[in-house]
Amino acid sequence: MISAIAQLTNFKAAQGPPLDFVVFMVCWIILGIASFLFFQLNRNAALKRRIWPPFIIIIGFIFGLFVWQMSGGRREVLLFMIPAIVIISLLNIRLTRFCQSCGRTLQAQPFSSAGSFCKYCGAKLE
């Protein structure tokens, strides 16, 4: 009987993704929607400037933990993920600007100039 239950449990686990993956994806989607709404709809540039760097660092940390968890806690994964997360986080912080005039979030493309003026209202960017 115990063997049958163990086989059934393994069968059910093989049917879908691991629970920690599902939990992460649900949280990641909710976090993505909430951050999109905040950073795209909020027009308070000073608040967004203050929140953006810690937000990016926390998001990078959460993503790194998820990848490490899904890899079974292997250290080799961290050797590749930590530099990648740091580079992506620094690019996100450096290339995202907030217009003081209209409050919009402006994101430059990685190998292009960030621009000196807001593409929405034309105000000079700080």
Output the 3-class SS for 77-118: HHHHHHHHHHHHHHHHHHHEEECCCCCCEEECCCCCCCCCEC
pLDDT, tens digit, for every residue of 93-106? 999 999 999 999 99
- Provide φ and ψ at 115, rounded to 5°: 90, 150
In the structure encoding, which two tokens stand for residue 118, read together? 């807001």
Identify the weakest region by mean pLDDT among 4-18, 22-36, 60-74.
Answer: 4-18
pLDDT, tens digit, for every residue of 40-74? 999 999 999 999 999 999 999 999 999 999 899 99
